[in-house]
Amino acid sequence: MTFGIIGSGSWGTALAKILTDNGQHINWWNRNDQAIAQFKVRAHNPQYLTSAKFDMNQLSLSADINEVIEKSDVLVIAVPSAYIIDLFSTISKTALSGKKIISAVKGILPDIDILLNDFLSKNFEVPISNYFSVMGPCHAEEVAAEKLSYLTFSGIDINTTNQISTYFKTDYLKTVTNDDIYGVQYAAVLKNIYALGAGIAHGLDYGDNFLSVLIANCADEMARFITTSGKTNVGLESASLAEENNVQNYKASVYLGDLLVTCYSLFSRNRTFGNMIGKGYSVKSAQLEMNMVAEGYNASRCIYNINKQINANMPIAETVYNILWNKIPADEGFKMIEEILV
* One domain for residues 69 and 100: yes
Strand partners, 212: none
Closest listed residue to residue 283, CA positions, set 293, 272, 297, 269: 297
Per-residue pLDDT at 303: 96
pLDDT digits (tens, 9 = 90+) for 153-163: 999 999 999 99
CATH number, domain of 316, equals 1.10.1040.10
Task: Report the predicted TM-score, pTM, of the whole model to 2 decimal places.
Answer: 0.91
Report which of 250, 216, 256 is spatially closest to residue 233, judged by C-alpha positions.
250
Rounded to 5°, the CA angle 165-131-155 comes to: 50
Give the span between the Cα atoms of 99 and 130, in whole angstroms.
7
Mean pLDDT of 101-130: 95
Same domain for 162 and 193, yes or no, is no
What is Dmax (Cα atoms) for the chain?
58
pLDDT of residue 233: 57
pLDDT tens figures, 239-249: 344 444 434 47
Structural domain boundaries, residue 265: 182-340
In this model, does residue 56 exceed pLDDT 90?
yes
For residue 132, the domain's CATH number is 3.40.50.720
Q: Do 213 and 117 share a domain, yes or no?
A: no
Q: Minimal CA–CA distance to 277: which of 318, 324, 322?
A: 324
Task: Please give the pLDDT value at position 244.
Answer: 46
User: Looking at residue 288, what is its pLDDT?
Assistant: 85
179-189 average pLDDT score: 93
**Are residues 194 and 332 both part of a single domain?**
yes
Mean pLDDT of the chain: 91
Is 238's pLDDT higher than 80?
A: no
